[in-house]
Amino acid sequence: MRFRAFGRRCIAGVVVCVASLFAGNALAQDRPPLNERVTPAIFETVFPAADRLGEVEGQPPFMRAYAGDEQLGFVFSTYDVVRAPSYSPRPFDAIVGMDLAGNLTGVQVISFHDPYLTGFPERVRQLAEFFRFYVGYNISGQRAFPAQPDFVQGTTISARQMRAGVLDAARVIDRATSDRPPVTEPTLDLDAFTVMNWGELMEMGALAHRAVTFGDVREALAEAGVTPVEMEVPLGRPDLALNPPRFDCRFVATRACEIDANLVRENDEIYTDLYFALVTPAMIGRNLLGSDLYARYLTPQPPGTHMLAMLSAGPYDFRGLGFYRDENGNRFDRFRLVQGETEIVFTRDQHQMVGGLRGDRPRLPDVSVFFIAPNSGFDPVAPFEIVLMVTATTETGEQATIDIPIAYQVPDDVILMPFVEPAPPWVEAWADATPQLVILGIALVILTGLFIFQKQLTMSRRAHAWIRNAFLLFTLVWLGWIAGGQLSIVHVVNYLKAPFDGVDIGFYLAEPLIVVIGIYVLLSLILIGRGVFCGWLCPFGALQELTAKVARFLKLPTWDPPERMQRWMWLPKYGTAALIVGAAFVAPAALAATEEIEPFKTAITSVFTRPWPYVAYALVLVGMGLFTERFFCRFLCPLGGVLALGDRLHIFTLLKRRPECGSGGCHLCERSCPVRAIERDGKIIMAECFQCLDCQVEYYDEQRCPPLAKGRKVRERASRARPQMGVPVPAMAMSAAASKPAMGPDR
């Protein structure tokens, strides 16, 4: 198709030439004409494979590079094409070679005005070295830039600017000289070509191969339940042992003996050794058939025709004799092409016999090319199968055919993919974070499960304590210290400011863990309240709680404000939140300082590695938490304040109460609440509740919750009275209460 393409190129060239009459003159005088600048030495450097150059043509100007009569690519100058500046406003000039497939073949910078290059021969040498790495680089930009050596400072900027100029120029030339429209979907690359031998074609996957042995055919026939009586290539006998040669043959080789011996076909003997390939792409076709045959076969075909080359050795060649028979419709009956719903059986007029092909390849005497018509529904870039067919006549005189399918997919190297903009940074961030997202996902599923099976969890004091401590440890160590997933007031500020900032969504999306936690927190805030985050997912909260648990274990004294005082003490956290959000809008310069109210950066994200004043502040807060549970959370935390405000929206309250709670005269839960979120009247202040579920453990404790205990005693008395109707006492509750008798009052 390349030949037709030239025709079209010429027509396009006329239009361009007319344009160049106007544009050309102004530029022509700036620098010597292109063919003078490209000296033989430079030509050799930028296009080693070519041996001669064509005339300067086109606007912007370029020259075609040939090896013999065959065009290999183009040579042009960046100055003529894009006049790109480098580290100087005066454009540099580089001569560039590019092959037909858009791979750079060489770059030589011939003039520049960069202050950091002029007079530094060492740097100039490095610049040449820099571009050597771009030989073979495809200008489509689908591959990353090649790895480069490190650079002396000063040339790097120039080199990269020049690289941009070279690639821009090459793209312009590529577009101007190519008639292929930019592909919008995967398309077969018909024109790209580099010399490849048989081995390289095999490695690339350009050829499908299947060696079918006599044994395979026997097996397939047996499987299909066919006993062949007659076949085009008879199977003969598997080996000599079954039918030893006649006695006299051991001494004289008569003709009868020869026939007899020929009938022996061992199981691993080749029935047919078949290779085939889609040869429409020049990369495969020209390498397999040679340039002459490739062009001779393809050129007369209507555009859109595809060529399939079949090659085989062995007695059962792919052609057979069927195509000689008119009554058979001149069809080839030994194979067909299958692609999804489409089945193609080739006929004699779609066939081209090819003489033997030479070269370093297996001996394959039978070679043919088959033409696939443009309207056949065949999709060259989709996988297809060649189904080898072996027909046998059975004892009853019927024809039975067995199918041996062989799969094929044209290799990616000859498929042009549409240009894709490089993925934005956040996509990379999500890919990087996949393992972390999996861990977080599992943790969130578990957490959700805990809230769904809250009752079952809190019925067992011991299970609740273990699970809760383990989860907090996970939150602190993994989520906080390792993954750096501490949600913070900084995020709230960022999200609030987003509409005014113009920052685009990618900025937020680039933090996968925070995005996921943020969404989870928002949902849980609306459904249950702020406690899901503060009680379970905040690493700094977990740090305070875990250290406080140690303090309780060591029986350190505790202090909590009285109820009325506490109501006042709850307020400053709203103040700190307002201060930070206010600063974000009114005094952005002070924002960073106000955000230091939050010790998260110190204690969590940087694991106490900041300077001592910050560490000391964080420690004071953790220290207060030893004596007053979650001191910072309850009274100061700006994020807690924002969440507590949002808590007003929550829909469900899962925490159970009894009429006896508080005003009913019992204060057990109230005292069990580590953060004193239950007031004397028994009401839970949800904005201050951390969903730790300690109160629910009391709620279900048959030993300690007075209404439950009363019921239990009644039942026990009843069962003592009538032991035969014994009501089982929940063993778990008994043992838990027995093993930790001091837990409740100690709080």
Question: Which of ligand SF4, another protein, none is residue 689 near (CB under 5 to 8 Å by kind)?
Answer: ligand SF4
* DSSP tally for the chain: helices H, then strands E: 32, 17
For residue 392, the tally of other CB atoms under 10 A from its CB is 21
Cβ 659 to ligand SF4, closest distance in Å?
A: 17
Do 584 and 496 contact (CB within 8 A), yes or no?
yes
Question: Minimum distance from CB of 534 to ligand SF4 (Å)?
Answer: 3
Residue among 72, 298, 390, 633 that touches ligand SF4 (CB under 6 A): 633
* Cis amide bond preceding 60, omega within 30: yes
| Residues touching ligand SF4, count (CB under 6 A) | 23
CB 89, min distance to another protein, A: 5
**How far from chain centre, in Å, is Cα 147?**
22
Q: Is 536 in the site for ligand SF4 (CB under 6 A)?
A: no
Instruction: Choose among another protein, ligand SF4, none what residue 574 binds, the Cβ cut-off being 5 to 8 Å by kind.
Output: none
Rule CB under 6 A: is residue 743 a binding residue for ligand SF4? no
Residue of 213, 453, 443, 413 lying closest to 314 (CA atoms): 213
Q: Which stretch binds ligand SF4 (CB under 6 A): 1-9, 243-251, 378-386, 689-697?
A: 689-697
Between 726 and 741, CB nearer to another protein:
741
Neighbours of 500 (CB within 10 A): 9
DSSP E strand boundaries for 587-682: none
Query: What six digits make up the tokens of 486?
Result: 């501490």
Structure tokens at 448: 């959700």
What's the min distance (Å) between Cβ of 339 and another protein?
41
CB 166, min distance to another protein, A:
14
Indicate the burial class of 122 (C-beta count within 10 angstroms; 0-12, 13-18, 19 or more): exposed
H/E element, 342: strand 342-344
Which x/- pattern, by CB under 6 A, does the window 669-688 give for ligand SF4? ---xx-x-xx-----x----
Q: What gap in Å lies between CA 431 and CA 603, rounded to an integer?
A: 28
Q: List the one residue from 63, 159, 433, 534 that touches ligand SF4 (CB under 6 A).
A: 534
Across the beta sheet with 351-354, the strand order is: 208-213, 270-278, 306-313, 366-372, 351-354
Q: Which does 62 bind (CB under 5 to 8 A by kind): ligand SF4, another protein, none?
A: none
Question: Does 390 participate in binding ligand SF4 (rule CB under 6 A)?
Answer: no
> Is the CB of 58 or the CB of 640 nearer to ligand SF4?
640
The phi, psi pair for 98, rounded to 5°, reads -145, 135
Question: Closest CB to another protein among 14 and 738?
Answer: 738
- 366-372 and 306-313 beta bridge pairing: antiparallel
- Of 211 and 615, nearer to another protein (C-beta) is 615
Whole-angstrom CA distances from 381 to 186, 202, 295 are 7, 18, 21
Select from 51-59, 111-119, 319-327, 667-675 the region that touches ligand SF4 (CB under 6 A): 667-675
When asked if residue 385 is in the footprint of ligand SF4 (CB under 6 A), the reply is no
- Is the preceding peptide bond at 741 cis, omega within 30 degrees of 0? no
Alpha-carbon distance of 630 to 534, in angstroms, equals 10
**Least distance between ligand SF4 and beta carbon 186 (Å):** 50
Select from ligand SF4, another protein, none the partner in contact with residue 556, using the beta carbon and a kind-dependent cut-off of 5 to 8 Å.
another protein
Could you say whether residue 637 binds ligand SF4 (CB under 6 A)? yes
Q: Which does 55 bind (CB under 5 to 8 A by kind): ligand SF4, another protein, none?
A: none
Which residues between 141 and 200 bind ligand SF4 (CB under 6 A)? Answer: none
With respect to another protein, which residue has the nearer C-beta, 426 or 540? 426
| Minimum distance of ligand SF4 from residue 435's CB (angstroms) | 25
- What's the chain's Rg over C-alpha atoms? 41
Q: Which two tokens stand for residue 207?
A: 């050829």
Q: Is 476 in the site for ligand SF4 (CB under 6 A)?
A: no
With respect to another protein, which residue has the nearer C-beta, 208 or 604? 604
Report yes or no: 514 and 432 within 8 Å, Cβ to Cβ.
no
**What does the buried/exposed string (b/e) look like for 53-87 if buried means 16 or more CB atoms within 10 Å of the residue's CB?**
beebbbbbbbbbbbeeeebbbbbbbbbbbbbbebb
Q: Which does 429 bind (CB under 5 to 8 A by kind): another protein, ligand SF4, none?
A: another protein
Q: Are 563 and 679 in contact (CB under 8 A)?
A: yes
DSSP code string of 519-540: HHHHHHHHHT-THHIIIII-HH
Q: Which span (223-231, 282-290, 432-440, 691-699) binds ligand SF4, by CB under 6 A?
A: 691-699
Closest approach of another protein to the CB of residue 566, in Å: 15
Least separation in angstroms between residue 603's CB and ligand SF4 is 10
Give me 19's structure tokens: 């344009």
Toward ligand SF4, which CB reaches closer, 49 or 483? Answer: 483
Binding mask 538-557 for ligand SF4 (x = CB under 6 A): x-xx----------------
Which of the listed partners (another protein, ligand SF4, none) does 540 bind, with a CB threshold of 5 to 8 Å by partner kind? Answer: ligand SF4
With a CB cutoff of 8 Å and minimum separation 6, the contacts of 612 are none
CB-nearer residue toward another protein: 388 or 633? 633
Q: Is 690 in the site for ligand SF4 (CB under 6 A)?
A: yes
**For ligand SF4, which residue of 94, 639, 736, 743 counts as binding (CB under 6 A)?**
639
Binding residue (CB under 6 A) for ligand SF4 from 317, 595, 694, 702: 694
- How many Cβ atoms from other residues are within 10 Å of residue 669's Cβ? 24
Select from 419, 195, 151 the least CA-distant residue to 286. Answer: 195
What residue ranges bind ligand SF4 (CB under 6 A)?
534, 538, 540-541, 632-633, 637, 639-640, 655, 672-673, 675, 677-678, 684, 689-695
